[in-house]
A = this chain, B = another copy of it.
Amino acid sequence: MPMPPEFREIAKRVNNWGRWGADDERGTLNLIDDEVVRGAVATVRTGRRVPLAVPLRPDGIQTGLIPGRVNPLHTMTAVNQELFGPGTVATSDDVVTMGLQAGTHWDGLAHVSHGGTLYNGRPAASVTAHGRAAFGGIEKVRHIVSRGVLLDVAGALGAERLGGGHAVGPKELTAAEEWAGVRVRRGDIVLVRTGQIRVYLAGDREGYAHPSPGLSIRAPEWFHARDVAAVAGDTLTFEIFPPEVEGLWLPVHALHLVEMGMLQGQNWDLEQLAAACREESRYAFLLTATPEPFAGAVGSPVAPVAIL
């Protein structure tokens, strides 16, 4: 059962395969060139920094809904251990077991396939239990520093947060852009705020998971038209969930990751940033959000920081 025609038509319009060469594994991150970075740096005025990651905790975001995606189990392997004898310097050490996509994270390009194919037409079979992602692993990203733009859709619509059934499409994105007085441009990283993370921050993990507002299947074309480098949001599912079209699951994932070769971020806490942007009346800033370079990984935790 292939993807439905509705999907296939959009896919054709946003497809980036071959755009940066047949061997490219970085996709739209290629849009961030030195000039884009200089432009991003030029947005900084006050030097104020806003962290966007949710703390990594054993009782974090995951509820067991996604099998194997476990919250961080963080344990000490030493506690004030005087390794070199009594009275010497004492060290504490720790380890963690966690789903790479358990908290605030990036989806890597190999996270999703459809019809047996990954970004750039590569076989999905290049991902294996043994070798992990041989193509498109998150370590290929190397660095993510660019201009960030907050599209505060909830704010633009005058809502504290969008409801569970609210799909964010071109109309909402453009409205948020206008409300912010900024125009999204080539190489930007767009942060789409729905306010849904407030549900998690208020302690309701189940309610946060779904029903969730999120990107519409119509959003990728908007991002493609603006040639953005990446998109991140403040929900677990990234796109609206349950989906808009019955039986068409995770179409935005498939369009972004497979067709466009564009990383997407989930569980980003945009609340403090929205407040800061409102205070300073500007929605563009320098954004730094490099994933940890896990070799062959399909995702990675990230600790993004907006610098205003």
A53-85 vs B, CB cutoff 8 Å, 1 = contact: the mask equals 111111100001011111011111111110111
A93 to B110: give the CA distance in the assembly, Å: 9
Query: How many copies of this chain does the complex contain?
Result: 4
Q: How large is the interface on A (under 10, 10 to 19, 20 to 34, 35 or more residues)?
A: 35 or more
Which A residues from 84 to 104 make CB contacts under 8 A with B?
84-101
Which of A37, A66, A130 counts the most B-chain CB atoms under 10 A from its CB? A130
The stretch of A158-166, A206-214, A283-291 in contact with B is: A283-291
Report whether A250 and B91 are in contact in the complex, using a CB–CB cutoff of 8 Å: yes
Contacts of A292 in B (CB 8 A): 53, 56, 292, 301-303
Report whether B92 and A101 are in contact in the complex, using a CB–CB cutoff of 8 Å: no
The stretch of A38-46, A169-177, A222-230 in contact with B is: A38-46
Do A37 and B307 contact each other (CB < 8 Å), given the known contacts A293-B53, A295-B55? yes
Report whether A92 and B41 are in contact in the complex, using a CB–CB cutoff of 8 Å: no
Contacts of A218 in B (CB 8 A): none
Which A residues contact B (CB, under 8 angstroms)? 1-3, 33-38, 41, 44, 46-51, 53-59, 64, 66-70, 72-81, 83-101, 110-114, 116, 124-125, 127-130, 132-133, 139, 142-143, 145, 249-251, 253-254, 286, 288, 290-299, 301-305, 307
